[in-house]
Amino acid sequence: MNETKNQSILGHLRELRKRVLWSLIAVVITTAASFFFADQIINLLKVPAGNVQFIFIEVTEAFSTYMKVCFIVGIIAAMPVIMYNALMFVMPALTSREKKWVLLILPWVLIMFFGGIYFGYRFLIPPATRFLLHFGSNVALIQPRLSNYVNFVIGLLLIIGLLFEMPVVVAFLARIGVISSRWLANKQKIIIIVAFIVSAVITPTPDAVNQTIVAGTLIALFELSILIAWLMEKRKKKAQDTGLSA
């Protein structure tokens, strides 16, 4: 009995090592490939800043900045492979119904994440960088470090991308019965306040219009989450009624 259990554990560990190894190989390949487009990627990140002259002030700063950008892009580019290997590792433990829902949700994880990145790049980063990179320019020459700017932009984009995962997470939690649309609806007032607090934190400008756009987007995502939870409950109830009638 113990020997069979140990063999099962060793089998899971070997499978986990295999999946982690393939994911790491994918990240290494995509990171290496990103170096061929590093200049274009960094120039794309610099677009919202306008005609600002960035500088490097440390010997290794340029190299470390390029490495960080390529590594993050490599992880994002390898995400389908990473998600596939993660799915293949947990799939044997799932029921056929759970497998179906996981396969349905996974594409939306990527869609919402990249949608959040696009929203941040298109609507949040430009006004934020215009404010920060020109504030105080009438009293001193502003020469921002490229590494600081890249860290700021990438960090903000990743936060927005993760926030856009809210409807996907809610859909999953509603499907397994952890939360309900009624529970979410009762939290609307609190969420509105939290949305404006979060927008004030992640939006580094005092511009009320920009903060309102971010807060409005978060509130819209929450309302979408309520709708998704309601649809999940309705579908689940319909399936249960069909089963009882059968």
What is the predicted pLDDT for the residue at 4?
57
Confidence of residue 29 (pLDDT cuts 50, 70, 90): very high
Whether the predicted pLDDT of 244 surpasses 60: no
Give the span between the Cα atoms of 162 and 169, in whole angstroms. 10
What is the predicted pLDDT for the residue at 9?
72
What is the predicted pLDDT for the residue at 7?
53
What is the predicted pLDDT for the residue at 102?
75
Note whether 129 and 155 are within 8 A (CB). no
Q: pLDDT tens-digit profile of 194-242? A: 888 887 777 666 666 667 777 888 888 888 888 888 887 777 777 666 6
What is the predicted pLDDT for the residue at 24?
94
Whether the predicted pLDDT of 161 surpasses 60: yes
What is the predicted pLDDT for the residue at 13?
81
Q: Nearest CA to 147 among 58, 47, 44?
A: 58
**3-state SS, one letter per residue, for the chain:** CHHHHHHHHHHHHHHHHHHHHHHHHHHHHHHHHHHHHHHHHHHHHHHHHCCCCCECCCCCHHHHHHHHHHHHHHHHHCHHHHHHHHHHHHHHHCCHHHHHHHHHHHHHHHHHHHHHHHHHHHHHHHHHHHHHHHCCCCCCCCCCEHHHHHHHHHHHHHHHHHHCCHHHHHHHHHHCCCCCHHHHHHCHHHHHHHHHHHHHHHCCCCCHHHHHHHHHHHHHHHHHHHHHHHHHHHHHHHHHHHHHHC
pTM of the model: 0.77
What is the predicted pLDDT for the residue at 65?
92
What is the predicted pLDDT for the residue at 42?
93
Give residue 210's identity as a one-letter amino acid code.
Answer: N
Q: Dig out the tokens for 229 from the structure.
A: 């939870």
Give the span between the Cα atoms of 232 and 176, in whole angstroms. 10
CA dihedral 221→223→224→230, nearest 10 degrees, is 150
Residue listed under structure tokens 């020469």: 143
Give the span between the Cα atoms of 68 and 163, in whole angstroms. 22
Whether the predicted pLDDT of 5 surpasses 70: no
What is the predicted pLDDT for the residue at 207?
62
Whether the predicted pLDDT of 1 surpasses 60: no
Note whether 164 and 122 are within 8 A (CB). no
Whether the predicted pLDDT of 2 surpasses 60: no
What is the predicted pLDDT for the residue at 39?
93
Note whether 30 and 77 are within 8 A (CB). yes
Whether the predicted pLDDT of 159 surpasses 60: yes
Give the span between the Cα atoms of 126 and 49, in whole angstroms. 7
What is the predicted pLDDT for the residue at 25?
95
What is the predicted pLDDT for the residue at 210?
67
Task: Render the burial of 178-187: b for 16+ CB within 10 Å, e for the rest.
Answer: ebbbeebeee
What is the predicted pLDDT for the residue at 28?
95
**3-state SS, one letter per residue, for 210-237:** HHHHHHHHHHHHHHHHHHHHHHHHHHHH
- Lowest mean per-residue pLDDT among 37-41, 108-112, 207-211: 207-211
Confidence of residue 96 (pLDDT cuts 50, 70, 90): confident
